Structure formats: C-alpha cells, structure tokens
Amino acid sequence: MLGRLISYAIGGVFVLTLLVAAFAPREAVVEDPNHALHKYPMKISWAQDGVFGTFDRAQLQRGFQVYKEVCAACHGLERIAFRNLVDIGFSEPEVKAIAKAYEVASIDDKTGEASTRPAVASDYFPSPYPNEVAARAANNNALPPDLSLITKARQGGKDYLHSLLVGYGQPPAGHEVPEGLYYNPYFANINIAMPPPLASAGQVTYAEGQPEPTIDQMSRDVSAFLDWAAEPKAETRKRTGVAVMIFLLILTGLSYLAYRRVWAELKSRGAH
C-alpha cells in the first residue's frame, strides 16, 4: 500500500510538472519570412535509381567534365583518387592523362624543399585552396564545401543538388537579398553565397554525340557524377544485395517448410 502511494506521488509530481509546462503560455513565435519561400527538392528520375538501376557511364563522364571545368574552381573532391575514374568508364591511359594535368604537393627529393609534381593515378584530386582561411578569403568569407560526400550530406541528395543548381532566380517582391548573396529557394537559408555556377547553355562543350549542354542537362550530369563520388561502391552494394535477397528468399522458404515438417507430427496429434 505504501509502495503504491509513493508511486502515485512520483507519478503525480511528474504529471503536474508536465501539465504546468503544457499550459504555460508560449512566447509569440516570430515567423521567419524565409520559411515561406523555401522549396523542397524537385523529384528527378535517375538512371541509378531503384534496386536494379545502374549509373549511366556517359552521364558520369559528362558530369566529371562539368565538375572539372566549373565546380573544381572552388570545390575540392578530396576523397576521389584519379584511379577511381576507371569505375566510370575511363581507360587506364585516359586516367593517367587526366591525372598528369594536375599538380600535386610534393617535396624535392634532393633538397627536401616543398614543391609540386604532376599527379599519378593513385593520387587524390587536389583541393583548390591550400586551407580554409584561403578558401574563405577568396569567397567573400563563405567556405565552399568539399563535394566528395555532398549528395549523402544533404537531405534530398542528388535531387537537392540538381534543384539547387537550377534553382537560382529573381527574388519575389519584398525579399531583400543581402549584398554578395544570391536568391535560391532550394537553399535552407534562401540566400546562398555561391554565385550561379551554371549560368548559360554551352558553358561546357560536350563531345560529339552527347546531349546538348543546357543548364538543366549539365546540372543533372554533375549531380549524377557527385552521387557516384559520394558512394562509388553503390552499384556493387545493390548487386550484392540482390544476390543476398534471392539466397534469403530460398532459405526462408526452406526454413518454413522445415518448420512445418517438424511441427506436423505435433499438430496431427491435435495436441497443438
């Protein structure tokens, strides 16, 4: 009996405290005017979507071209090595040629002085700025994030990325965009420090036989490429997953039959 009273008392105190809090008047919430302008990412269909979807290699190569010629001016891709580009359909000589065009940090093997050398396939993409201070200094105090994981590190992934790249526009009447920022309703803060990176069709020249490099097309291509870069093993993962599921479905069927077989004797006797 005493135990029950203690229990009622403790429960009562918690409930009372919570009800006081629940009925306490709330401070008036100041609506953030940007909140109404914010848009959720567009739903885009991608070659790599779904259980059986695979990356479109030609699209990834076009996307790499967009990254190299546009994004790489400010954004690093530090978790991707040149050798990884074999995965998106480049041959080894092509990869070596791509790598050679980049200079990476090194030391002079005679003097030990800091120097640079042409990259080889096992090197990682060099970042455009030596450090964060330099990156901020060059970008109006904004830090361009490394893009290696960008589609995994943002809600909405590649859909968000594409929406953001094509989402720049004129601000609605009454919305003041601060100096040095740009209006983009897909960005969480509405005003983004990145200038529109894809400004005009044909900004990148695609090879013969590839689609027209419209802003929309370039944006889709680079988003697909960065989606690959965020998880180069995604195709392997899904392929393994399909094999695992087929194996498990068979095993589940067999284990169900085994279970029925083992229990059949019991059930036939009506004891269960």
Partner 1 sequence: MSFPWAKHYEPSHPFMKWVDSRLPLPRLVYNSIGAGYPVPKNINYWWNFGVLSGFALVVQIITGIVLAMHYSANTLVAFDSVEHIMRNVNGGWMMRYLHANGASFFFIVVYIHIFRGLYYGSYKPPREVVWMLGLVVFLLMMATAFMGYVLPWGQMSFWGATVITNLFSAIPVVGNTIVSWLLGGFAVDNAALNRFFSLHYLLPFIIAGVVILKIWSLHIPGSSNPTGIEVKGPEDTIPFHPYFTAKDGFGLCVYLLLFFGVAFFLPNALGHADNYIPANPLSTPSHIVPEWYFWPFYAILRAFTVDFLFIPAKLWGVLAMFSAILLLFFLPWLDRSPVRSSNYRPTMKWLFVLLIVDVIILGWCGGAPAEEPYVRISQIASAYYFLHFLVLMPLVSVIERPLPLPNSITEAVLKGKDRDGAPIGMAQATNATISATPAE
Binding interface with partner 1 (CB under 8 A): 3-4, 7-8, 10-22, 24, 26, 29, 51, 79, 84, 145, 148-149, 152-155, 157, 188, 230-233, 236-238, 240-241, 244-245, 248-249, 251-252, 255-256, 258-259, 261-263, 266, 268-272
Give the nearer residue to partner 1 in terms of CB position, either 107 or 246.
246
Residues composing the chain: 272
Within a 10 A sphere around the Cβ of 246, how many other Cβ atoms? 10
Give the nearer residue to partner 1 in terms of CB position, either 15 or 105.
15
Q: List C-alpha distances in Å: 58 to 64, 140, 178, 209, 225.
A: 10, 35, 39, 11, 10
- Listing DSSP states for 1-48 in one string gives -HHHHHHHHHHHHHHHHHHHHHHSPPPPP---HHHHH--PPP----TT
Please state the closest distance from residue 208 (CB atom) to partner 1, in A.
33
Q: What is d(CA 106, CA 116) in angstroms, rounded to the nearest whole number?
A: 5
Give the nearer residue to partner 1 in terms of CB position, either 215 or 229.
229
Please state the closest distance from residue 41 (CB atom) to partner 1, in A.
12
Please state the closest distance from residue 212 (CB atom) to partner 1, in A.
32
Give the nearer residue to partner 1 in terms of CB position, either 206 or 228.
228
Please state the closest distance from residue 251 (CB atom) to partner 1, in A.
5
Q: Cβ contacts of residue 146 below 8 Å, gap of 6+?
A: 75, 76, 77, 78, 79, 127
Give the nearer residue to partner 1 in terms of CB position, either 91 or 236.
236
Please state the closest distance from residue 156 (CB atom) to partner 1, in A.
8
Give the nearer residue to partner 1 in terms of CB position, either 125 or 206.
125
Q: Helix or strand or coil: residue 162?
A: helix
Cβ–Cβ < 8 Å for 148, 159: no
Q: What is d(CA 92, CA 108) in angstroms, rounded to the nearest whole number?
A: 27
Please state the closest distance from residue 132 (CB atom) to partner 1, in A.
10
